[in-house]
Amino acid sequence: MHCSPSAQEALRGAFVVLPAVTYANVGELALDVLVTSLAPVTALGPLESANCLPVVGNDAFDQEASASTSNIDGGAISSSRAAGIGVMTTALELFAIPGSQPPLVFLQQRAPAALGRQAAFAEELVTWLRQRGAAGVVVLTGLDAQLRRDRQLDSSPFRFLTSSEHLRSACAAASALHAATAPPPLDPYTYAAGDLGGGLGDAAAASSAALAAAPLAELEPELRAEELQLHHSLPPWPLLSEADRQGLPYALLGCFAAEGDNAGEGVALAAHAVRLLEALAGGGSEGKGEGDAGARLHAAAREAGALRTPRSWVGLYGRSFPQEIF
């Protein structure tokens, strides 16, 4: 894998948050929310892999929100964004939160591994992360909603799975923080309209508000066994198997999902992720300055409405519809 020298340095001792390109694209959506909500972030540039399909786009994140805060290879990009030229987006991109302790790096993946290269991509990525000194990975993913049984249908759709006691304790702390700060469940017959600061329409905002009350629970062993039996060659399982083999610590945060308008699941999964990251940071950042990375994590993990969606989500799932029709 190839990236800039500054990106390689940023990985030393860092927890890397990345999506699994799988059910309903929930992981990629959650990564978009994290990068947008925890700005200012430093854009470390693209990551190149021969095992990942190429893709290109532009302006994935808010131009006005990140115009004066991000840089690529040390150079300011505010002038190009202010001029509306556009900032290119590629298949694999790295972002860092400056000043975070432990260091936090986001790896957004916008394209799947090439056909038949899923295992090779997992081995390449885990080997590269270990060689660069990464402390561990946090994988955000969708889980197959068809595998749920009565017990899962009657509970929260969010699950976690960890490879170490340290990360399991961090997930438990994130769950406790959710229990202490989450809003009460909404009346299922009441639609909550609103804007989360980006391109989220009213229907998705209502879904996100309802999901915000759903807690994080440990993935049941029988569900993990069924996932491995049916989907062992599909993300995120090749990556986790390779991380186990090479001894790279990981935490998996997942959401049972089916294809459709999954913006609400993406936002809610990002909320659980930010609480996990705050737990990894120690959770004691309330006394720090407002612009400090720890203070931003602290606020995002506790304040309702702190998460934002990028403006590139406008029209992501088609035009919104008036709630009055119901």
Q: Which two tokens stand for residue 160?
A: 């976690």
Q: Which two tokens stand for residue 143?
A: 């889980």
**Looking at residue 244, what is its pLDDT?**
97
Q: Which domain holds residue 51?
A: 5-325
Is 58 buried (19+), middle (13-18) or exposed (0-12) by CB count in 10 A? exposed
Kindly give the parts of the chain with pLDDT less than 50. Answer: 65-83, 188-197, 285, 287-291
**Looking at residue 201, what is its pLDDT?**
52
Q: What is the CATH number of the domain that holds 213?
A: 3.40.50.10900
Question: Tell me: the pLDDT tens digits for 239-285?
Answer: 999 999 999 999 999 999 988 889 889 999 999 999 999 999 886 54
Strands 71-72 and 216-218: unpaired
Distance CA(161)–CA(184), nearest Å, equals 25
Residue type, 108: Q
**Looking at residue 190, what is its pLDDT?**
45
| Residue matched to tokens 């909500």 | 37
**Looking at residue 152, what is its pLDDT?**
76
**β-sheet bridge partners, residue 262:** none
**Looking at residue 62, what is its pLDDT?**
73
**Looking at residue 8, what is its pLDDT?**
93
Distance CA(173)–CA(321), nearest Å, equals 38
Determine contact, residues 273/17, Cβ cutoff 8 Å. Answer: yes
**Looking at residue 138, what is its pLDDT?**
98
Distance CA(174)–CA(89), nearest Å, equals 31
Distance CA(49)–CA(110), nearest Å, equals 13
237-246 helix and 118-131 helix, angle to the nearest 10 degrees: 40
**Looking at residue 63, what is its pLDDT?**
54
Determine contact, residues 250/129, Cβ cutoff 8 Å. Answer: no
**Looking at residue 212, what is its pLDDT?**
84
**Looking at residue 208, what is its pLDDT?**
67
Q: How many domains does the structure of the chain reveal?
A: 1
**Looking at residue 153, what is its pLDDT?**
81
**Looking at residue 317, what is its pLDDT?**
73
User: Alpha helix (H) ranges present in 138-201?
Assistant: 150-153, 165-181
CA quadruple 239, 23, 171, 266: dihedral, nearest 10: 130
